Amino acid sequence: MEMPYMIGQKEERKRVDQASCGLEKMGRIPCCEKENVKRGQWTPEEDNKLSSYIAQHGTRNWRLIPKNAGLQRCGKSCRLRWTNYLRPDLKHGQFSDAEEQTIVKLHSIVGNRWSIIAAQLPGRTDNDVKNHWNTKLKKKLSGMGIDPVTHKPFSHLMAEIATTLEPPQVAHLAEAALGCFKDEMLHLLTKRRIDFQLQQSNASIGNATTTYMNSKQEEHQDDEAIEKIKFGLSRSIQEPDMLPPNKLWDSATTGPTFSSFSGNCSSAFPYSGFQYEPSSFSNERDGSPWNQSICTGSTCMVGDRQSRLPDKLEENGDDSRTGKEIRNDAILFNTDSVLWDLPSDDLMHPIV
DNA sequence: AAGATGAACAACCGCGAATAG
DNA sequence: TCTATTCGCGGTTGTTCATCT
């Protein structure tokens, strides 16, 4: 399917991109002739040509494959079509609960290293995993109050930030947080995508925790939950001095606080048999659970580009981009900064 | 019924790593 | 060791279909 309008846009963007990064000057060689190359959706005829050619000759030289197979496609495009769609060993159905769990677990460890994650899921490609993460899993975690980048509860991140601020700034932060998250909370709750049930009798003192519920609730319960969340946030705003120095928004304050909103996720993830381990989020051995920097999580953004492996891994000769030099999966799954106890036996393939 | 919006998936792009010569 | 080429990865965009208003 030719899409001339799209090609026009892309060419323009490419021209701008190249100009901005000096590629024209450097004389970067295009991966294929742009003219006479078809783009967009593949037709069944093209799929057949490519599949039968690869069945006979294998995937030795992607640049030659389109020529030899009689396709007006870029070699790169052929490779992508083959690896993401035509390969006979691919699964095309929905992701199972177990697969989703594996993705979340591994993402908490290796970040956006989709190829590493996909390698543990037979029949799934990195593109599949990436799309599934971006369209579903990220939202699920966010809906649970968990930051999909660091895999920490939003409340913990806020508390960590707050430790660096003076009380008046903390109040402003809480106010901003209320403004930022209010609409999303209301949306999620009223849409019944997630239901939050505040722990009833003992929620007010001591053990204020919020439990993720799959069960349906009455409309007025949603409203009540929203009101409680608002109440807790308001208290945090109005009484920042009441908050203990190292445990901002802790359950010590009466009523549900921001941390109680998402603090206990062990029964929170909507997959059977799956437990998110909030206790791992804090390093409580030194008595100052909130002192670690935001970036001590196993997946944090470095610069503007990649999430990274735990330091121990990188020290271990890891190629931070491909992960091909990772040798010791015991380190990978036992480091303190890892959120999950994922035995290496669980892995389909050792991460190498 | 029609337009708007969102979700899911497919495909493209540039970049850096790996490899060949 | 250096250079050119190829490959694979992750980010991003585009398309299609479903649902909502």
Q: What is the pLDDT of residues A162-209, one digit of tens each?
A: 777 777 777 777 776 666 555 555 544 444 333 333 333 333 323 322
Looking at the fold, whether A190 and A124 belong to one and the same domain comes out as: yes
Question: Which of A163, A194, A225 is a domain's end point?
Answer: A194
Closest nucleotide to A74 by C1' from CA? B12
Higher pLDDT pick, A251 / A221? A221
Question: Which of A166, A194, A222 is a domain's end point?
Answer: A194
Contact yes or no for A149/A104 (Cβ under 8 A): no
Interatomic separation, CA of residue A117 and C1' of nucleotide C5, rounded (Å): 28
Q: Which residue is nearest to nucleotide C14 (CA to C1')?
A: A6
Residue A207 lies in a domain: no
A143 band by pLDDT with thresholds 50, 70 and 90: confident
Closest nucleotide to A59 by C1' from CA? C7
Question: Which of A194, A223, A250 is a domain's end point?
Answer: A194
Q: What is the pLDDT of residues A223-248, one digit of tens each?
A: 454 445 445 444 544 444 443 333 32
Interatomic separation, CA of residue A35 and C1' of nucleotide C17, rounded (Å): 31
Closest nucleotide to A125 by C1' from CA? C9
pLDDT of residue A31: 52
* Overall average pLDDT of the A279-307 stretch: 30
Q: What is the dihedral of CA A233, A237, A243, A247, to 10 degrees?
A: 60
Looking at the fold, whether A143 and A118 belong to one and the same domain comes out as: yes
How many domains, in total, are found in chain A?
2
Residue A254 lies in a domain: no
Interatomic separation, CA of residue A149 and C1' of nucleotide B3, rounded (Å): 35
Looking at the fold, whether A102 and A163 belong to one and the same domain comes out as: yes
Residue A60 lies in a domain: yes
* Contacts of A28-33 spanning 24+ positions with Cβ under 8 A: A31/A63, A31/A74, A31/A75, A31/A76, A32/A63, A32/A66, A32/A74, A32/A75, A32/A76
Residue A274 lies in a domain: no
Task: List all residues 6 or more positions away from A45 whose beta carbon is below 8 Å from its beta carbon.
Answer: none
pTM over 0.85: no
Looking at the fold, whether A154 and A104 belong to one and the same domain comes out as: yes
Looking at the fold, whether A57 and A133 belong to one and the same domain comes out as: no
A351 has a pLDDT exceeding 80: no
Higher pLDDT pick, A57 / A250? A57
- Amino acid found at A143: G
Looking at the fold, whether A121 and A170 belong to one and the same domain comes out as: yes
Q: Which of A199, A210, A254 is nearest to A232 (CA)?
A: A254
Distance between CA atoms of A322 and A336, rounded to whole angstroms?
Answer: 23
> Which neighbouring-strand residues pair with A10?
none
A141 band by pLDDT with thresholds 50, 70 and 90: confident
With residues binned 3-state (H G I as helix, E B as strand, rest as coil), the percentages for chain A, rounded to 5, are 50, 5, 45
Q: Which of A93, A54, A96 is nearest to A71 (CA)?
A: A54
Residue A124 lies in a domain: yes
Residue A341 lies in a domain: no
Q: What is the dihedral of CA A158, A164, A166, A170, to 10 degrees?
A: -10
Looking at the fold, whether A53 and A105 belong to one and the same domain comes out as: no
Looking at the fold, whether A114 and A182 belong to one and the same domain comes out as: yes
Bases along strand B below 7 A from a protein CB: 7-18
Residue A159 lies in a domain: yes
Residue A59 structural domain:
33-88
Residue A300 lies in a domain: no
Interatomic separation, CA of residue A166 and C1' of nucleotide C15, rounded (Å): 49
A349 has a pLDDT exceeding 80: no
Residue A70 Ramachandran class (φ > 0 left, ψ -120 to 50 alpha, else beta): left
Q: Which residue is nearest to nucleotide B12 (CA to C1')?
A: A77
Looking at the fold, whether A130 and A183 belong to one and the same domain comes out as: yes
| Domain CATH for A75 | 1.10.10.60
Q: What percent of chain A has pLDDT over 70?
A: 39
Distance between CA atoms of A207 and A186, rounded to whole angstroms?
Answer: 24
Q: DSSP string spanning A12-75?
A: HHHHHHHHHHTHHHHTPPPSS-STT---SSPPHHHHHHHHHHHHHH-SS-TTHHHHHHT--S-H
Closest nucleotide to A111 by C1' from CA? C10
Those residues whose beta carbons lie under 7 A from strand B are A 10, 14, 17-18, 21, 23, 28, 31, 38-42, 74, 76-77, 80-81, 84-85, 92, 94, 127-128, 130-132, 134-136, 139, 319, 321-322, 324
Q: What is the pLDDT of residues A86-133, one digit of tens each?
A: 888 888 888 888 888 888 888 888 888 888 888 888 888 888 888 888
Interatomic separation, CA of residue A218 and C1' of nucleotide C15, rounded (Å): 38
Distance between CA atoms of A343 and A330, rounded to whole angstroms?
Answer: 8
Bases along strand C below 7 A from a protein CB: 5-16
